[in-house]
């Protein structure tokens, strides 16, 4: 072949090249075409079309820029392209629910979208520009959008303390702590308290084996013959702190044998003064006297009793201590007396205050409890239990550890297994593939996983040791929210610096006040400097509010300022010395920076001022709508009959200026009084004085009166 011939190309080859070229171009064209028809471009076109139907088209289109729109927050390592499709997210005019998604505006929240992006709260895949990739679990993305129902969980990932905007999350955290989940599980920010379940080292002295059997079998619900659930001395509307474990009769027999054999500290029964016994023993109304004393001391502030009115039986009283309707059928009477005199000698971290009992009161109250708070049928369905055999006791001890009892209950000399249940501190951030679903028949996502684990642990793991919890749907969602908020250590996501830590209890009372504070367990109900219960008023600034003498009188005889409340301060029978210690301490330490007590109280008010104040109080501002003076007025605010002895002048002034600055969340409305009006009202309030000691507040309302 010559060189010239070689350059010739056959027709067939030409045709082949032509076809191949066309095919090649066609294949190459697929990619630009797909690029042109991307989902987000379609949504942008839809948005423009939608904006043109709106009255504020011009404004909407001025803010619109075609192309990928992203929120880039390098600090948080967030790249959110959600706003590419969710174009109207910051347009106030598109907030209405008639606006179709994805264009609707976000409700106003403290964190603006442009500063925080979307995925920090909503999860999902921020960089994605496809609907499925952004919202769902896909092959290469396992954190789908968090259902809006549980969105408060995201608040909790950073706000480790409770904030008022997240009631569901707060409730969930409260439940996790109340249900003693921390006994077995490690959780983010849910601390293990000193006492989960009672210390059982000495339980054999306190209750009988039959009662233990009954409790283990049915801590929750006892059903009467007709199948109705009744309040039976155990049940409350809420979950009891001890959940129902799946135990066989044999296991319960063994456990009750073991527990009833625990009598680590023998106690001596208390000997009453024989004169007191002699004077009271024969009285036919002994139980009634005891009941009266029981009510006067406001035991029901912490303990509840079942009250039947009509067909309805319900518990009335507080839930700090156990419910007591049938307590006499539970505890040994001698133990009861020892307990009442000094709860901490039985249980060093008991929350019950150590009252100053007179023999007379103690005898009356214990007689009342033993006679009235009892139910002879309580243990009727407990089988005959023989004297415990050593084998039973041994088996019971083994079961105590195997079933996880030791995670909540302490027994001296028995060391429980550490970390009995799985660590939940990063559960909320787990990928679906990290969860063990077993053969469970529910959707594979983290919400159904958490809920199945709580409501039916066996559905996920047939060997689960977790007890059964019965929660209302709302509570279940609350717990789910709290667990979802535990996303573990965010050091990798750049969110670490955003964490608002949970306030730590920092208040420790020392010295003479410290002793009184511990003895009467003030912190169980009252809050001091951010630490303590929320049942009763916060006392952090009490020294600015109340006068010393009034505080002493109140401690000695806590008559109520708010007669509609069921929960009242118990009468501790304090000594003068103790009451003075408290008043002095509050006066020294519990001062608000806003109230100048020393300066304000020297002020003298002219009688005309008080008269003008009375006028303002009664006519202009009608304070009597909420406050009572003497015998007339409303019940929303505190009774002011003795306010002149009670309140400091400077407190009243500051309070009238801005109540919420002194007590955050106070319901008193903030009015714009002139300073002259404030002076006048203060002058008037200071004239309100009751002479003499008021009578002890005697009321049966605590037990029989209305709802909480």
Instruction: Tell me if 292 sits within 8 A of 298, measured CB to CB.
Output: no
Which residues are registered as beta bridge partners of 538?
527
> Measured between alpha carbons, how far is 282 from 261 in angstroms, rounded to an integer?
36
CB of 40 to another protein, least distance (A): 9
CB of 51 to another protein, least distance (A): 23
Chain centroid, CA 403 distance in Å: 27
CB of 22 to another protein, least distance (A): 19
Q: Which is nearer to another protein, 131 or 588 (CB)?
A: 131
Q: What is the 8-class DSSP label of residue 242?
A: S
The residue from 41, 48, 127, 605 that contacts another protein (CB under 8 A) is 127
Q: Which is nearer to another protein, 80 or 323 (CB)?
A: 80
Find the part of the chain contacting another protein (CB under 8 A) among 121-129, 146-154, 226-234, 361-369: 121-129
Q: Which is nearer to another protein, 40 or 437 (CB)?
A: 40
CB of 31 to another protein, least distance (A): 4
Judged by CB under 8 A, the chain residues 2 through 21 that form the site for another protein are: 3, 6
CB of 67 to another protein, least distance (A): 9
Give per-residue burial for 498-536: e unless 16+ CB within 10 Å, then b.
Answer: eeeeeeeeeeebeeebeebbebbbbbbbbbbbeebeebb
CB of 426 to another protein, least distance (A): 18
CB of 129 to another protein, least distance (A): 4
Q: Which is nearer to another protein, 33 or 463 (CB)?
A: 33
The residue from 35, 237, 268, 312 that contacts another protein (CB under 8 A) is 35
Whose CA is closest to 301, among 562, 597, 19?
Answer: 562
List phi, psi (to 5°) of 687: -80, -10
Q: What is the 8-class DSSP label of residue 608?
A: H
Q: Which is nearer to another protein, 7 or 310 (CB)?
A: 7
Binding mask 74-113 for another protein (x = CB under 8 A): -----x-x--------------------------------
CB of 134 to another protein, least distance (A): 9
Furthest CA-CA distance within the chain: 143
Torsion of CA 234, 237, 239, 241, to 10 degrees: -50
Find the part of the chain contacting another protein (CB under 8 A) among 31-39, 504-512, 529-537, 596-604: 31-39
Instruction: Tell me if 76 sits within 8 A of 87, measured CB to CB.
Output: no
Binding mask 322-351 for another protein (x = CB under 8 A): ------------------------------
Tokens of 111: 């964190």
> Measured between alpha carbons, how far is 331 from 324 in angstroms, rounded to an integer?
11
The residue from 32, 310, 376, 607 that contacts another protein (CB under 8 A) is 32
Whose CA is closest to 446, among 457, 464, 465, 433?
Answer: 433
Whose CA is closest to 134, among 87, 184, 172, 79?
Answer: 79
Q: Residues touching another protein: how many (CB under 8 A)?
A: 18
Chain centroid, CA 283 distance in Å: 45
Q: Output the 3-class SS for 431-480.
A: CHHHCCCCCCCCCCCHHHHHHHHHHCHHHHCCCCCCCECCCCHHHHHHHH
The percent of the chain in helix, strand and coil, each rounded to the nearest 5, is 45, 5, 50
Which residues are registered as beta bridge partners of 331?
207
475: which residues sit within 8 A by CB, 6+ positions away? 171, 175
CB of 119 to another protein, least distance (A): 13
Q: First CA to last CA across the chain, in angstroms?
A: 110
The residue from 48, 61, 68, 347 that contacts another protein (CB under 8 A) is 68
Q: Which is nearer to another protein, 416 or 494 (CB)?
A: 494
CB of 561 to another protein, least distance (A): 60
The residue from 25, 26, 31, 310 that contacts another protein (CB under 8 A) is 31
The residue from 26, 92, 108, 140 that contacts another protein (CB under 8 A) is 140
Q: Which is nearer to another protein, 493 or 699 (CB)?
A: 493
27: which residues sit within 8 A by CB, 6+ positions away? none
Binding mask 547-576 for another protein (x = CB under 8 A): ------------------------------
Find the part of the chain contacting another protein (CB under 8 A) among 129-137, 161-169, 546-554, 616-624: 129-137
Which three-class secondary structure state does DSSP give residue 159?
Answer: strand
Which three-class secondary structure state does DSSP give residue 307?
Answer: strand
Instruction: Tell me if 143 sits within 8 A of 124, measured CB to CB.
Output: yes
The residue from 83, 87, 91, 129 that contacts another protein (CB under 8 A) is 129
The residue from 82, 89, 128, 176 that contacts another protein (CB under 8 A) is 128
Q: Which is nearer to another protein, 7 or 706 (CB)?
A: 7
The residue from 130, 359, 360, 456 that contacts another protein (CB under 8 A) is 130
Which spans of this chain sit near another protein (rule: CB under 8 A)?
Answer: 1, 3, 6, 30-32, 34-35, 68, 79, 81, 125, 127-130, 133, 140
């Amino acid at each position: 072949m010559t060189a010239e011939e070689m350059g010739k190309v056959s027709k067939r080859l030409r045709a082949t090249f032509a076809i191949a070229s066309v095919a090649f171009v066609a294949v190459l064209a697929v990619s630009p075409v797909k690029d042109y028809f991307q989902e987000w471009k379609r949504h942008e076109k839809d948005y423009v079309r939608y904006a043109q139907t709106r009255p504020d088209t011009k404004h909407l289109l001025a803010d619109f820029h075609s192309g990928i729109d992203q929120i880039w927050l390098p600090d948080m390592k967030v790249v959110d392209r959600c706003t590419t499709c969710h174009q109207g997210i910051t347009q106030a005019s598109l907030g209405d629910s008639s606006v179709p998604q994805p264009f609707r505006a976000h409700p106003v929240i403290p964190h603006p979208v442009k500063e925080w992006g979307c995925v920090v709260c909503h999860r999902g895949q921020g960089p994605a520009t496809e609907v499925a990739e952004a919202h769902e679990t896909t092959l290469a993305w396992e954190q789908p959008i968090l259902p809006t129902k549980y969105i408060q969980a995201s608040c909790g990932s950073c706000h480790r303390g409770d904030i008022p905007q997240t009631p569901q999350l707060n409730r969930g955290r409260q439940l996790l702590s109340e249900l003693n989940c921390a006994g077995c599980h490690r959780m983010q920010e849910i601390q293990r308290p000193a006492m989960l379940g009672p210390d059982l080292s000495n339980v054999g002295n306190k209750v009988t084996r039959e009662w233990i059997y009954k409790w283990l079998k049915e801590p929750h619900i006892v059903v009467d013959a007709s199948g109705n659930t009744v309040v039976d001395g155990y049940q409350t509307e809420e979950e009891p702190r001890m959940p129902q474990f799946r135990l066989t009769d044999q296991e319960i027999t063994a456990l009750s044998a073991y527990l009833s054999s625990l009598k680590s500290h023998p106690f001596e029964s208390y000997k009453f003064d024989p004169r007191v016994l002699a004077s009271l023993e024969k009285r036919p109304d002994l139980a009634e006297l005891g009941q009266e004393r029981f009510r006067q001391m406001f035991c029901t502030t912490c303990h509840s009793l079942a009250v039947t009115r009509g067909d309805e039986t319900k518990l009335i009283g507080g839930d700090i201590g156990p419910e007591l309707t049938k307590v006499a059928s539970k505890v040994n009477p001698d133990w009861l007396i020892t307990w009442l005199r000094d709860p901490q000698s039985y249980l060093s971290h008991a929350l019950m205050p150590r009252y100053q009992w007179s023999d007379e009161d103690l005898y009356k109250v214990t007689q009342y409890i033993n006679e009235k708070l009892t139910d002879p049928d309580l243990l009727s369905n407990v089988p005959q239990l023989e004297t415990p055999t050593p084998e039973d006791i041994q088996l019971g001890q083994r079961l105590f550890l195997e079933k996880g009892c030791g995670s909540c209950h302490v027994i001296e000399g028995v060391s429980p297994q550490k970390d009995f249940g799985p660590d939940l501190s990063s559960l909320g951030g787990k990928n679906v593939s990290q969860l063990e679903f077993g053969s469970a028949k529910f959707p594979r996502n983290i919400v159904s996983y958490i809920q199945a684990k709580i409501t039916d642990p066996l559905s996920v793991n047939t060997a689960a040791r977790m007890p059964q919890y019965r929660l209302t749907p709302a509570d279940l969602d609350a717990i789910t929210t709290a667990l979802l908020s535990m996303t573990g250590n965010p050091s990798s996501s750049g969110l670490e610096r955003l964490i608002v830590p949970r306030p730590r209890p920092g208040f420790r009372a020392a010295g003479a006040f410290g002793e009184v504070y511990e003895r009467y367990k003030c912190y169980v109900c009252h809050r001091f400097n951010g630490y303590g219960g929320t049942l009763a008023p916060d006392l952090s600034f009490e020294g600015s509010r109340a006068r010393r003498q009034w505080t002493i009188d109140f401690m000695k005889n806590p008559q109520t300022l708010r007669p509609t409340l069921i929960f009242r301060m118990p009468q501790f029978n304090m000594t003068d010395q103790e009451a003075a210690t408290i008043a002095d301490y509050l006066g020294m330490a519990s001062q608000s920076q806003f109230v100048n007590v020393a300066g304000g109280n020297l002020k003298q008010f002219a009688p005309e001022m008080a008269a003008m104040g009375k006028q303002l109080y009664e006519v202009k501002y009608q304070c009597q709508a909420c406050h009572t003076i003497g015998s007339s007025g409303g019940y929303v605010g505190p009774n002011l009959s003795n306010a002149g002895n009670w309140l400091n002048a400077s407190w009243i002034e500051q309070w009238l200026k801005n109540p919420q600055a002194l007590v955050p969340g106070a319901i008193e409305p903030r009015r714009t009084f002139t300073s002259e009006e404030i002076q006048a009202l203060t002058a008037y309030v200071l004239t309100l004085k009751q002479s003499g000691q008021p009578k002890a507040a005697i009321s049966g309302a605590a037990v029989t009166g209305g709802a909480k």
